Amino acid sequence: MNAQPVIQLQNIKKIFLTEDVETSALDNINLSIEPGEYVAITGPSGCGKSTLLSVMGLLHSASSGTYILNGKEVTGLGAVEQARVRNRDIGFIFQAFNLISDMSAFENVELPLTYRSDLTKKQRHELVDAALAQVAMTERRKHYPTQLSGGQQQRVAIARALAGSPRVLLADEPTGNLDSKNAQLTMELLDTLHGQGSTIVMVTHDPRFAERAGRQIALFDGKIVEDRQYRAVAPTPIAATVA
Ligand SMILES: Nc1ncnc2c1ncn2[C@@H]1O[C@H](COP(=O)(O)OP(=O)(O)O)[C@@H](O)[C@H]1O
Ligand SMILES: [Mg+2]
């Protein structure tokens, strides 16, 4: 296990151009995230949280600056290579779950793995089974998203994010569409995954949830205004060794 940071952002800027309006969504972000960290990103609406997570997840590219993922610069990668890295190294969890409605829970979890040429069908199915078991959704693996509660859909989405043992799980307001009980269950699941060694970056505007992370980063107007470490990182990162 190498000790290099999972994520290094250096002087990252993101400017959105829409008609006559220029928005500086990220303004000179410098940030390093170590394996096994659990980081909460907080700040008011519109301050750049989702943009920051999208840059980390290679869903958006930065306007300028350098992004190093697992020691490898990914800033200038072409679309195909970027998609490959994203699929292999990043697990994304969205507020709106983003499951595909005409696929079962099993098929949703399997989908990103089907783009992985290094896995046989048998290996793929084993990874899906393991991920569904991890989120306690084995019994509902044949259900379609509309047949599942919001909390269950989010658990399937988490299984999809973690099935391929990504280097980092990125969660954008994962409890935003859930009632308080399911929000609590989702947070407990993230705690468990962190305890098992997953590196997690979670956007939340709920201070109670932010407090569960070992480190809190506050954004304001696209800038980091606070970066506080509370707890040491988890002892044994396993996320990268399961495959
Ligand atoms: N695709 C986009 N096109 C234009 N402006 C955008 C886009 N995405 C985000 N923005 C702007 O960037 C700023 C940061 O947005 P966002 O990262 O979504 O904030 P947060 O997630 O903290 O609410 C906002 O001013 C928003 O309007
Ligand atoms: Mg957002």
CATH number of 7-229: 3.40.50.300
pLDDT at 127 exceeding the cut of 70: yes
Q: What is the DSSP secondary-structure string of 117-176?
A: TT--HHHHHHHHHHHHHHTT-GGGTT--GGGS-HHHHHHHHHHHHHTT--SEEEEESTTT
CA distance 103 to 111: 9
Confidence of residue 38 (pLDDT cuts 50, 70, 90): very high
Relative to the alpha carbon of 54, which ligand is closest? 1
Confidence of residue 122 (pLDDT cuts 50, 70, 90): very high
Distances (CA, A) of 181 to 105, 107, 117, 150, 178: 21, 27, 39, 11, 8
Task: Give the predicted TM-score (pTM) of the model.
Answer: 0.92
180 secondary structure, DSSP code: H
Q: Is 146 in the pocket of ligand 1 (CB under 6 A)?
A: no
Among protein residues, the one with the nearest Cα to ligand 1's atom 7 is 16
Q: pLDDT value at position 207?
A: 87
Q: Is 10 in the pocket of ligand 1 (CB under 6 A)?
A: no
pLDDT at 15 exceeding the cut of 70: yes
Atom of ligand 1 nearest to the CA of 53: 17
pLDDT tens digits, 60-105? 999 999 999 999 999 989 999 999 999 999 999 999 999 999 999 9
pLDDT at 20 exceeding the cut of 70: yes
58 secondary structure, DSSP code: T
Share of the chain above pLDDT 70, in %: 94
Q: Is 45 in the pocket of ligand 1 (CB under 6 A)?
A: yes
Ligand 1 binding pocket mutation candidate from 14, 16, 95 (most atoms within 8 A of CB): 16
pLDDT at 120 exceeding the cut of 50: yes
Q: Is 215 in the pocket of ligand 1 (CB under 6 A)?
A: no
